[in-house]
């Protein structure tokens, strides 16, 4: 920790972006698995994928890399934020009104909310799975596995949860929208010609990811 604290501001930002970009690729993988619930209402594909993710030794190892990624991203974010608050001990009477990116101002808040969501999310699925509280899924030929899909579907039939989920995902979308181009900026990957494309891609990414995640509970809820 003390070592992390003494890293220079830019080093921290570079790590922050690398972890962030890594987490963004995870979101794509996660979404593609979730979407299986829509394409295959029998939940078979989803459960196979979930089973694979839950049992494949490589993925099992990688899972800890992912946790570490989340962990560092969050810890760095908090350290950066505390330093930022310390840099202005006395604030302004009139709050800033400059023409900057709106989402960028609230990264720590959207980040913290996403963190809370992550805990609940892990509680909903991961912990249950660890405790073996997941119903069995019987599928001829595929052997026995846990019916993770049923857990999801049940949750997505709960009105309150769907509303909560949609709000959380929107906030994550805001976080991502700034995060994508910001990561490239922090890594110094800017260029007159390509930066507008990266920014566009960032908006595209955050909209597709957010819409993709949100559409699943909505379809299941109204199905």
Q: Which residues bind another protein (CB under 8 A)?
A: 8-14, 80, 83-84, 86-101, 104-105, 107, 178, 181-182, 184-190, 192, 195
Cα separation of 179 and 172, whole Å? 10
Which of 93, 138 has the CB closer to another protein? 93
Tokens matching residue 36: 């299986």
Give least dist CB 208 to another protein, A: 22
Give least dist CB 17 to another protein, A: 9
Which of 163, 189 has the CB closer to another protein? 189
Give least dist CB 106 to another protein, A: 10
**Helices (H), ranges, the chain:** 2-6, 9-39, 44-55, 57-86, 107-121, 128-131, 148-155, 159-186, 195-222
- Half-sphere exposure at residue 131, Cβ-oriented, CA atoms within 13 angstroms: 9
Beta bridge partners of 138: 144
Give least dist CB 204 to another protein, A: 19
Which of 123, 196 has the CB closer to another protein? 196
């Amino acid at each position: 920790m003390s070592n992390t604290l003494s890293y220079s501001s830019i080093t921290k930002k570079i790590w922050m972006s690398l972890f962030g970009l890594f987490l963004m690729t995870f979101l794509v993988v996660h979404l593609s698995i979730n979407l299986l619930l829509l394409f295959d209402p029998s939940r078979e594909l989803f459960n196979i994928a979930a089973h694979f993710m839950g049992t494949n030794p490589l993925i099992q190892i990688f899972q800890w890399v992912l946790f570490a990624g989340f962990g560092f991203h969050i810890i760095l974010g908090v350290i950066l934020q505390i330093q930022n608050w310390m840099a202005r001990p006395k604030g302004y009477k009139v709050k800033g009104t400059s023409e900057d990116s709106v989402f960028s101002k609230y990264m720590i808040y959207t980040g913290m909310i996403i963190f809370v969501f992550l805990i609940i999310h892990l509680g909903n699925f991961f912990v249950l799975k660890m405790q073996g509280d997941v119903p069995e899924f019987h599928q001829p030929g595929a052997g026995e596995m846990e019916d993770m899909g049923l857990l999801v579907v049940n949750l997505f039939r709960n009105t309150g949860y769907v509303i909560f989920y949609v709000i959380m995902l929107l906030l994550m979308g805001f976080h991502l929208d700034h995060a994508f181009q910001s990561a490239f900026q922090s890594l110094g990957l800017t260029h007159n010609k390509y930066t507008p494309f990266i920014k566009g891609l960032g908006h595209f990414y955050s909209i597709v990811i957010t819409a993709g995640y949100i559409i699943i509970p909505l379809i299941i809820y109204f199905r």
